[in-house]
Amino acid sequence: MRFSIAHLGPTGTHTETATLAYTQWLKETQGQDSLLCPYPSIAQTLQAVAKQEADFAVVPVENSTEGSVTITLDTLWELETLQIQKALVLPITHSLLSRGTKLEEIKTVYSHPQALAQCQKALQKFLPQVQLIPTSSTVEALRDLNQDPENKTVGAIASSRASQLYNLPILIPSLNDYPDNCTRFWVVGLDAATNGKYISLGFTTPANQPGALVRPLSVFAQREINLTRIESRPTKRSLGEYLFFIDIEGNATQTDVHAALEDLPQYTEVLKIFGNYDVLTVD
Amino acid sequence: MRFSIAHLGPTGTHTETATLAYTQWLKETQGQDSLLCPYPSIAQTLQAVAKQEADFAVVPVENSTEGSVTITLDTLWELETLQIQKALVLPITHSLLSRGTKLEEIKTVYSHPQALAQCQKALQKFLPQVQLIPTSSTVEALRDLNQDPENKTVGAIASSRASQLYNLPILIPSLNDYPDNCTRFWVVGLDAATNGKYISLGFTTPANQPGALVRPLSVFAQREINLTRIESRPTKRSLGEYLFFIDIEGNATQTDVHAALEDLPQYTEVLKIFGNYDVLTVD
């Protein structure tokens, strides 16, 4: 039986690259074959798993330059049943693709808002006059470019893999503002995830109480458990009401981590544990 | 002398509405006249103040549905010299504008990604088949619609004020998913901001130490000072390194707040105080 793995499509997105790395790891370590299933949005890839249309979804969580992918956090909180099976960290290089051969000729650059944001300083430096047009994925723009193959005044920011897939030359190989640009992805499924070195969880706190956030965080700090990330998201009900996503280092079978997780509910209103998983680093 | 106030343009954006509310307040309370200066991006409005091209900038900070406007936080951290003079909270209603008269006719909807995100559930319910196209502001789309006045298959999500300014009928008056949709804006300038009930600050912490975030937060919690917001942003240097933006309730002249701010630097690496300001609520 092959696993079906949902990801943001169409073919050529960075999420597809992450998904391919995960399927290769599944093949090498478990002899497992997989089938990639592209979806038009991140929310739909997660819903596909919740509805059991797909076994897993690979979704971007945060980028080292642009920060959290909020739709991933919001959808995970909403769907409730999903568990993080693994994290993947992938270096992300954005290339400028165009049929034009000179930078001065480029008048318009298309890409996903995250990619445009990860290249904003370089764009300001090398292409200060161009019009930037957001698209729904880095690949969407390439389809537009291919509809008018004679046009040398348009460019798109996408991966070098997309350059090959869509037969578009690379004008600038690396346009990202920060050389160490990386994205963390999560592989999400329905199985309980209990083996691993990291735990992700989300919670709300009683509103308008001094120390309301410090108390749940102290549960970990007083046991010397490392908090590797915190992200706040609006509850969407009212301005100033938040839910918090945190990642900690540890496994729930360790005595101190177990005790912290037992302690935590007295300081939270709603608490959801999203899984206990390992990180796979991809070169 | 008139104040010059930079804001995200063109005319008709929600940020312009917030700016108009602020100029009206300036006129009523101080008899002060102002000149609105539209800029093509949020970063450019803040840079205009840093370069003394404008006296103030009005910028969106966070929305109750979609959360932080990260470019505002990142630019404020980078520019260093800017101080928050006032916060404004504005209810935000998104309308669907179109020359079409039936929902079934609409094939494409344009808007800013924040507006599309704040209406995603309503779009899925009422217009499940339409193509959503992101634009650089809610108003940008209206210009496109006006280039082809015969086309009844396109719509745009924008304010009712934009509907009047650009002479486009409203097909659905309120499309936002949550009725209490609000955005908080900051008025930013170069003057030291010391009078007010809220303090915003940003800091980095020593990396990879358990409790590194709890310690600076405890400085406020142990004095019963309310933390009204926390937001983490990547340092952009390396995945997993963050800076934190927090808002607390208090004035730096209060004994406990003063003591907390004196205590804070021993637990932070870089610390920036962005001002001590009041909130103006706009109906």
Among the listed residues B265, B259, B247, the one whose alpha carbon sits nearest the alpha carbon of residue B89: B247
Whether omega before A134 lies within 30 degrees of 0, making that bond cis, reads no
Kindly indicate the confidence band of residue A163, based on its pLDDT and cuts at 50, 70 and 90. Answer: very high
How far is B154 from chain A, CA to nearest CA, in Å? Answer: 17
Decide if A234 and B180 are in contact by the 8 Å CB cutoff: no
pLDDT at A181 over 90: yes
Mean pLDDT over each residue of chain A, to the nearest integer: 93
Which class for A71: exposed (0-12), middle (13-18), buried (19 or more C-beta within 10 A)? middle
Identify whether the C-beta of residue A86 lies closer than 8 Å to the C-beta of residue A186. Answer: yes
Task: Measure in Å the smallest separation between the Cα of B101 and chain A Cα atoms.
Answer: 27
Q: How much is the pLDDT for B70?
A: 92
**What's the CA gap between A13 and B55, in Å, rounded?**
43
pLDDT average, residue stretch A120-144: 87
Contact A155, A99 (CB under 8 A): no
Residue whose C-alpha is closest to residue B129's, from B106, B95, B113? B106
Query: Which of B:254-273 have CB within 8 Å of A?
Result: none
pLDDT at residue number B41: 87
Identify the residue whose tokens are 């090398």.
A126
Band of pLDDT at residue A38, cut at 50, 70 and 90: very high
Closest to A70 (Cβ–Cβ): which among B67, B71, B238?
Answer: B67
A210:B218 CB<8 A: no
pLDDT tens-digit map of A12-35:
999 999 999 999 999 999 999 999
Nearest residue of A to residue B209, measured between CA atoms: A226
Is B66 in the A-facing interface, judged by CB distances under 8 Å? yes
- Low-confidence stretches of chain B (pLDDT < 70) are none
User: Which residues, other chains included, contact B261 with Cβ-Cβ below 8 Å and sequence gap of 6+?
Assistant: B199, B252, B273
What radius of gyration, in Å, describes the C-alpha atoms of chain B? Answer: 21
Q: What is the pLDDT of residue A54?
A: 98
Per-residue pLDDT band at A229 (split at 50, 70, 90): very high
Size of interface A-B (CB pairs under 8 A): 136
Separation between Cα atoms, residue B19 and residue B3, nearest integer Å:
12
- pLDDT per position as a tens digit, B49-98: 999 999 999 999 999 999 999 999 999 999 989 999 999 999 999 999 99
The answer to whether B67 faces chain A, any CB pair under 8 Å, is: yes
Spatial distance between the Cα atoms of A234 and B66, rounded to a whole number of angstroms:
7
Listed by number, the residues of chain B in 77-136 with a beta carbon closer than 8 Å to a beta carbon of chain A are: 89, 113, 117, 120, 132-136
| Residue A22 Rama label (left phi>0; alpha psi -120 to 50; beta) | alpha
CB contact under 8 A, B217 and A220: no
Cα torsion at A59, A64, A67, A68 (round to 10°)?
20
| Position A136 pLDDT exceeds 80 | no
Q: What is residue A149's predicted lDDT score, i.e. its pLDDT?
A: 85
Res A187: pLDDT: 98
Q: Identify the residue whose tokens are 């007010």.
A: B196
Query: Which of B214, B233, B245, B256 to mutate to probe the A interface, most A CBs <10 Å?
Result: B214
Sketch out chain A's domains with CATH numbers: 3-92+181-189 (3.40.190.10), 95-172 (3.40.190.10), 198-276 (3.30.70.260)
Compute how many other C-beta atoms are within 10 angstroms of the C-beta atom of residue B105. 14
Question: A41: pLDDT confidence band, cut at 50, 70 and 90?
Answer: confident
Chain-chain contact of A221 with B240 (C-beta, under 8 angstroms): no
Task: Name the closest residue on chain A to residue B117, using Cα atoms.
Answer: A71
Chain A touched by B224 (CB under 8 Å):
yes
Across A223-234, average pLDDT: 93
Of residues B141 and A153, the one with the higher pLDDT is A153
pLDDT digits (tens, 9 = 90+) for B18-36: 999 999 999 999 999 999 9
Span A61-82, mean pLDDT?
A: 93
Q: Report the relative pairing of strands B154-158 and B108-111 from DSSP bridges.
A: parallel
Q: How far is B31 from chain A (nearest CA, A)?
A: 31
**Interface contact A239-B66, CB threshold 8 A:** no
Identify the pLDDT of residue A206: 85
